[in-house]
Amino acid sequence: MSSQIRYVVLDFDGTCTQIDLMYQGFLAAYLVELQHANPDGKPTNAAWRDALDRVRAASPKAGWSPTGGLPAAPAAADPYIHAGEAAALLKREDDKLVLPTTAFSNAYKDHKADWRTEVVDVLEALVGRDLHVGFISNSKTEGINARLDGLLAGKPALRKAIQVRGNAMKFEIQPVPPTSGLAANHLAEWNRVPEIDPDGASALGRPIYLRRGSYFEAICNLWSDFGEHGFPIAETIFCGDIWELDLALPRALGAPVHLVRRAPPYQTYDYELARTAPAHQSDDLRGLLARL
């Protein structure tokens, strides 16, 4: 495959970080944010644990709908989604419960997941093979840039080679085509993507929606960051840990993809494993490197 690939697109949290080492602290901090926002200290610890358990039991058939629309990913795919869905469940059962808009950001800033131990070696190897490497993530651009600046402080040339497109809103389901920006130049490619994965629903029990306009725009913009004016989808490999958010759209567009399997308690679901060949998935980023 290495002779065909020119671009490597990485997701950030979960794909390049160790969420399994920090999830408990994040979930506890999220609960504290909820309790501080409610004068009666609700939800109780027991109610929070119960809500988390119920969301986990319903996932992946229960989907995450952050914009209040179509499901974008499993409701318990990672602790960030899981916490929000548990809070939403409690709010549906108690309309007086206050859900502060800062709960996620406050809990996240104090419980960032550490980088995977192999990240630097993998990034160095990819760039050393003259591959263009970039991140596309729902996380904030400035946050990822700051994390990379710290990680690669002693490797300025490597840091300069890596581009970041954050705030990608991969969860935004957008059936209509983009009409502005670089993405509007590639409507033919967009129009070839079906609205729903024709094979996904039978395994999952709900539709997998493919048309994610903001993600499509981020892909086109990242190529542009590297001076690419075409649509080299077959020459771009995408690496992520949540099938629906990271890999479903790229695969539908015609890209090769690589799934980084999630560790317990947020282990990869069976339907996600079934969407990728065993050789196209691994427990860490070394598996991606081995493919190239």
What pLDDT, in 10s, does the model give residues 85-94? 999 999 999 9
| Core vs surface per residue 99-113: b (16+ CB within 10 A) or e | eeeebbeebbeebeb
What is the pLDDT averaged over residues 271-291? 96
- CA–CA separation, 184 vs 217, rounded Å? 8
- Domain 7-19+114-291 matching CATH 3.40.50.1000: the answer reads yes
Q: Of all helices (H) and strands (E), which one includes residue 49?
A: helix 45-58
Question: Which residues lie below 8 Å from residue 44, measured CB to CB, with a gap of 6+?
Answer: none
Confidence of residue 280 (pLDDT cuts 50, 70, 90): very high
The residue extents of the domains of the chain are 7-19+114-291, 23-109
54 close to 92: Cβ distance less than 8 angstroms:
no
- CA–CA separation, 18 vs 114, rounded Å? 6
Single-letter residue type at 123: L
- CA–CA separation, 82 vs 75, rounded Å? 6
- Asked whether residue 3 carries a pLDDT value surpassing 70, the answer given is no
Assigned token pair, 251? 């695969």
Q: How do strand 236-240 and strand 7-10 relate by DSSP bridges?
A: parallel
217 close to 259: Cβ distance less than 8 angstroms:
no
- CA–CA separation, 280 vs 261, rounded Å? 10
- Asked whether residue 180 carries a pLDDT value surpassing 80, the answer given is no
What pLDDT, in 10s, does the model give residues 144-171? 999 999 999 999 999 999 999 999 999 9
Assigned token pair, 222? 């990242």
DSSP class of residue 167? -
pTM above 0.85, yes or no: yes
Expressed in percent and rounded to 5, the helix, strand and coil fractions of the chain are: 45, 10, 40
What pLDDT, in 10s, does the model give residues 60-97? 999 998 877 899 999 999 999 999 999 999 999 999 99
Give the per-residue pLDDT at 2.
53
Question: Which residues lie below 8 Å from residue 145, measured CB to CB, with a gap of 6+?
Answer: 164, 166
- Asked whether residue 176 carries a pLDDT value surpassing 90, the answer given is no
